[in-house]
């Protein structure tokens, strides 16, 4: 038998470009590049939007409004071009979170870890997601910003409790926000048209959701360095 073809990740260069040109850079550039490159392969396209894989056997975290319904099936694509079908096995519309369990996974997939604490105001973040290509944007787009504020919940319109300044567009729902250590600190879910701030579901709500879904052990895993 011949070995399966080695897949390449043509989107990895976007990490280096975004980090290099980030405004107000206050950290070791190479360390941040290394950490974000380690988790970029876990960022996925799902159901016309975004998500991030949390386990080697395929458990994709996204927004509930992306997954839509419990038991719904959808295609999930990784940045190296590999594709899987997955089914929504857990959903919480109040937190706007869902898990898509991938099927027919034959080998370990790249995955990213959840941070152990929620981010404070001013924390630099890196967002990786899938802005709508019909407007001329590329998938696996990388943007850099900061946490503006972090509340447990936002009082209206389904906005996630974390307000942030990383650039997003239609299709970025479900995009992970990474700290400079490559840990998920929030999951982007919408934006506030009155302030232009983007909003995301905070780390503590993600951890509570994983606990509720029986997947709390996932957040202690570290992302694989691939690509």
Q: CB under 8 Å to 203, separation ≥6 — which residues?
A: 114, 115, 117, 118, 119, 184, 185, 186
In this prediction, residue 5 carries a pLDDT of 52
Each residue of 178-217: pLDDT tens digit? 999 999 999 999 988 778 789 999 999 999 999 999 886 6
More confident residue, 3 or 62: 62
Q: What percent of the chain has pLDDT over 90?
A: 68
Q: Beta strand pairing status for 49-53 and 43-46? A: antiparallel
Each residue of 41-88: pLDDT tens digit? 999 999 999 999 999 999 999 999 999 999 999 999 999 999 999 999
What is the set of active-site residues? 65, 96, 173
Q: Is 90 helix (H, G, I), strand (E, B) or coil?
A: strand
- The DSSP element (H or E) to which 204 belongs, if any, is helix 203-212
d(CA 217, CA 69): 24
Backbone angles phi, psi at 8, to 5 degrees: -105, 160
In this prediction, residue 211 carries a pLDDT of 93
d(CA 136, CA 21): 20
What predicted TM-score, i.e. pTM, was given to this entire model? 0.89
d(CA 165, CA 157): 19
CB 213 within 8 Å of CB 90: yes
d(CA 87, CA 61): 12
Query: CA torsion angle for 23, 125, 111, 101 (degrees, to 10)?
Result: -120
């Amino acid at each position: 038998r011949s070995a399966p073809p080695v897949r390449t990740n043509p989107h990895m260069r976007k990490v280096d470009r975004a980090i290099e040109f980030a405004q107000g850079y206050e950290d070791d550039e190479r360390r941040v590049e290394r950490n974000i490159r380690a988790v970029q392969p876990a960022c996925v396209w799902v159901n016309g939007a975004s998500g991030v894989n949390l386990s080697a056997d395929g458990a994709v975290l996204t927004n509930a409004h992306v997954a839509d319904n419990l038991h719904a099936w959808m295609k999930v694509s990784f940045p190296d071009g590999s594709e899987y079908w997955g089914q929504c096995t857990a959903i919480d519309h109040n937190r706007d979170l869902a898990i898509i369990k991938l099927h027919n996974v034959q080998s370990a997939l790249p995955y990213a870890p959840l941070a152990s604490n929620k981010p404070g105001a001013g924390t630099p973040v890196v967002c990786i997601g899938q802005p709508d290509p019909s407007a001329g944007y590329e998938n696996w787009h990388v943007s850099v910003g900061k946490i503006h504020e972090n509340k447990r919940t936002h009082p209206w319109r389904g906005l996630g409790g974390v307000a942030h300044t990383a650039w997003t567009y239609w299709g970025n729902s479900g995009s992970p926000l990474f700290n400079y250590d490559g840990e998920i600190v929030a999951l982007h879910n919408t934006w506030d048209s009155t302030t232009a701030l983007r909003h995301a579901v905070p780390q503590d709500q993600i951890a509570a959701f994983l606990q509720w879904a029986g997947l709390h052990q996932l957040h202690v895993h570290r992302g694989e360095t691939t690509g």
